[in-house]
Amino acid sequence: MHILILGAAGMLGCKLTERLLRDGRLGRHEISKITLQDVVSPRPTAAAIPLDVIAGDFVGADAAAALVASRPDVIFHLAAIVSGEAEADFEKGYRINLDGTRYLFEAIRAVGDGYRPRLVFTSSIAVFGAPFPAAIGDEFLNAPLTSYGTQKAICELLLVDYTRRGFLDGVGIRLPTICVRPGKPNKAASGFFSNIIREPLAGENAVLPVGDDIRHWHASPRSAIAFLTHAASFDAAQLGARRNLNMPGLSVTVGEQIAALANVAGPSVVARIRREPDASIATIVEGWPRNFKAERASKLGFAAAETSFEDIIRIHIEDELGGSFVH
Amino acid sequence: MHILILGAAGMLGCKLTERLLRDGRLGRHEISKITLQDVVSPRPTAAAIPLDVIAGDFVGADAAAALVASRPDVIFHLAAIVSGEAEADFEKGYRINLDGTRYLFEAIRAVGDGYRPRLVFTSSIAVFGAPFPAAIGDEFLNAPLTSYGTQKAICELLLVDYTRRGFLDGVGIRLPTICVRPGKPNKAASGFFSNIIREPLAGENAVLPVGDDIRHWHASPRSAIAFLTHAASFDAAQLGARRNLNMPGLSVTVGEQIAALANVAGPSVVARIRREPDASIATIVEGWPRNFKAERASKLGFAAAETSFEDIIRIHIEDELGGSFVH
């Protein structure tokens, strides 16, 4: 089985690559080759599986045709610019997040000859916009409040139509906010959800710009990788015509996040969180989904690695911090 | 007020033009000019209002820029290829129904300088796909089962994002199936809903390819024009971020349509309907919406011209047949 990963240098792309190299197989199939694409060169670890690395933009008819010319069996399409950038640069957002996906789908269609790869598309809960019910069900409308969410929702629709027409075998997964996101604090409006856990565990201070009552929908990086590999290997015919799924997650408040941090790491770690209310961030967060009933995905075998926010913190300590943190 | 109508030679475009010429105003504004565009030359009746006629494709950056260069205040975007053609010709459907709309929106954005026209987009109940609840509410997901429905759903998302960004003032209206559609029988799978009324009233036989229990969602052409003019003139700020609306309609079965025809026109007219079950049409119709609760639109003043299917038949006799039919 030949696997292509678009956006392989991103956080999820790196973790997915590591996982596939470690497993050597995806579902019931042995992996014969992995092709990694990103605008910056993805740095794979030494591997027993043949690796191709393509450093360059994937947006464009020629670039897309080159990526699928070798007919990969599974394509993970993780490539996108993030929400903040898509909002700041309208044209770039549509070019990368919408046109890039369409070039890819068209390149796959152009291969023809019965070529019909499993295509796993990482969508987002940003396809939803307030006002919300208490928990968003599997039949709630897409009403994005950002250009990023709009672009993801459009790609979901294309994924379904190209699948229905027999050009590809698409599965879209709407990921919760990934928490704890490893790396450095960034300027994403959602960054604080991870910052208030990651930084204190590393002995650093973190800023909390919203109130303790803010509720949000989370999944660990470990869960995200489990969702991706399951999406690539399960029997997608079970989806029928609706190929996009809300992934399982945890609905917790910021206060519950902090209480979990106290339970796992103690009050001295929690003391590194500094409250600095920021009305502009609070307004943005108001429009975000808080809670889901991800019934279809659960029935189809998509399972999170965690059952509590304490688990999410422990997964971060295990997977990112080598099992220990700064007391 | 300068009004631009794209797709002006179509059935709705012609009726809308006639109505605007007759009224001389839209909402509280006097109409100073109307520009009509279509691929075939729209044939306006003699009019007191200055009319521009543009016969040609609207798809493309230059064509779109030319259409909006004179900064029309209101744009009715009715241009599209129909469901059957978009399904038969995948590339043409995306080129006209998706790219055409995007060129238009981009041309409006490129005008800049505070230009922000009211743009009324005719969407369709084809954005919905089975399985359905008993009545589709205002928060039900878009899950189209055709390329046409996919293209309409994508344009709806673009309409919202371009509106949110301040580039236009968009309102999308999801029209019920228009019944009784004037003109000749065509090959559209939905054609029979109109054929079984229009043809018998004209003294012709009509074929009914589905069972009497098939339920569908209808509105008269007169209602559609009322929805369009209201969408162009009401205070759209009331919509908030959700700019696409399910229009009011009537949910009736084919059996109820025929009973209404008997009530209005008598058994000799009904006798011109010939039952010829067609399994392929029945399968297509299975995926179509049957019933809605169009609560938001009703609250916002969108009102149908009919309250029963008898009304729909009477409207056809009044508006298309000069008040009489073939007994």
Q: In this structure, is residue B184 part of a structural domain?
A: no
Over 90: is that where the pLDDT of B281 sits?
A: no
Over 80: is that where the pLDDT of B60 sits?
A: yes
Contact A286, A211 (CB under 8 A): no
Same domain (yes/no): B105, B226: yes
Flag if A161 and B142 touch (Cβ within 8 Å).
no
Per-residue pLDDT band for B45 (boundaries 50, 70, 90) equals low
Return the residue matching tokens 């018998």: B200
How many domains would you assign to chain B?
Answer: 2
- Assess B91–A contact: CB distance below 8 Å, yes or no: no
Distance CA A209, CA A282 (A): 7
For the record, the structure tokens of A87 come out as 């909002």
- Assess B139–A contact: CB distance below 8 Å, yes or no: yes
Domain that holds residue B213: 191-217+249-291+305-320
**Rounded to a whole number, what is the distance in angstroms from the first to the last CA of chain A?**
45
Same domain (yes/no): B96, B211: no
Over 80: is that where the pLDDT of A57 sits?
A: yes
Residue A122's closest CA among A88, A81, A67? A81
Q: In this structure, is residue A238 part of a structural domain?
A: yes
Same domain (yes/no): B25, B47: yes
CA dihedral B222, B224, B228, B231 (to 10 degrees): 110
Per-residue pLDDT band for A45 (boundaries 50, 70, 90) equals low
Same domain (yes/no): B234, B117: yes
Over 70: is that where the pLDDT of B308 sits?
A: yes
Q: In this structure, is residue A315 part of a structural domain?
A: no
Over 70: is that where the pLDDT of A15 sits?
A: yes
Same domain (yes/no): B58, B118: yes
pLDDT for residue B180: 97
Closest chain B residue to the Cα of A102, Cα to Cα:
B94
- CATH code for the domain in which residue A52 is found: 3.40.50.720
Return the residue matching tokens 């709705």: B12
* Size of the A and B interface in Cβ pairs below 8 Å: 56
* Minimal Cβ distance to B150: which of A145, A150, A157: A157
With the C-alpha atoms ordered B249, B251, B254, B255, is the resulting torsion angle positive or negative? negative
Residue A21's closest CA among A58, A52, A48, A54? A48
Flag if B161 and A140 touch (Cβ within 8 Å).
no
- Assess B143–A contact: CB distance below 8 Å, yes or no: yes
- Assess A245–B contact: CB distance below 8 Å, yes or no: no
B175-230: pLDDT as tens digits: 999 999 998 877 678 899 999 999 999 999 999 999 999 999 999 999 999 999 99
For an interface test with B, the pick among A91, A92, A150, A239 (most B C-beta atoms closer than 10 Å) comes out as: A150
Q: Is the peptide bond before A144 cis (omega within 30 degrees of 0)?
A: no
The arithmetic mean of pLDDT across residues B41-58, rounded, is 82
Quote the minimal CA–CA distance from A302 to chain B in Å: 21
Flag if B165 and A147 touch (Cβ within 8 Å).
yes
Over 70: is that where the pLDDT of B282 sits?
A: yes
Quote the minimal CA–CA distance from B223 to chain A in Å: 26
B245-271: pLDDT as tens digits: 999 999 999 999 999 999 999 999 999
Same domain (yes/no): B62, B195: no
Contacts of residue A137 in chain B, CB cutoff 8 Å?
A: none
The arithmetic mean of pLDDT across residues A79-106, rounded, is 95
- Assess A141–B contact: CB distance below 8 Å, yes or no: yes
Contacts of residue A141 in chain B, CB cutoff 8 Å?
A: 138-142
**φ and ψ at A59, to 5 degrees?**
-85, 120
A251-272: pLDDT as tens digits: 999 999 999 999 999 999 999 9
* Minimal Cβ distance to A129: which of B90, B150, B241: B241
Q: In this structure, is residue B105 part of a structural domain?
A: yes
Active site residue A103: no
Q: Calculate ∠ Cα B319-B322-B326, nearest 5°.
A: 110
Same domain (yes/no): B49, B107: yes
Q: Count Cβ atoms within 10 A of the Cβ of residue B231 and give its class: 0-12 exposed, 13-18 middle, 19 or more buried.
A: buried
- Assess B61–A contact: CB distance below 8 Å, yes or no: no
Please state whether A128 falls in left (phi above 0), alpha (psi between -120 and 50) or beta. Answer: beta
Contacts of residue A123 in chain B, CB cutoff 8 Å?
A: none
Alpha carbon of residue B76 to chain centroid: 11
Distance CA A190, CA A175 (A): 14
Same domain (yes/no): B112, B228: yes
Q: Which DSSP letter does residue B97 get?
A: I
Contacts of residue B142 in chain A, CB cutoff 8 Å?
A: 141-142, 157
- Assess A242–B contact: CB distance below 8 Å, yes or no: yes
Over 70: is that where the pLDDT of B243 sits?
A: yes
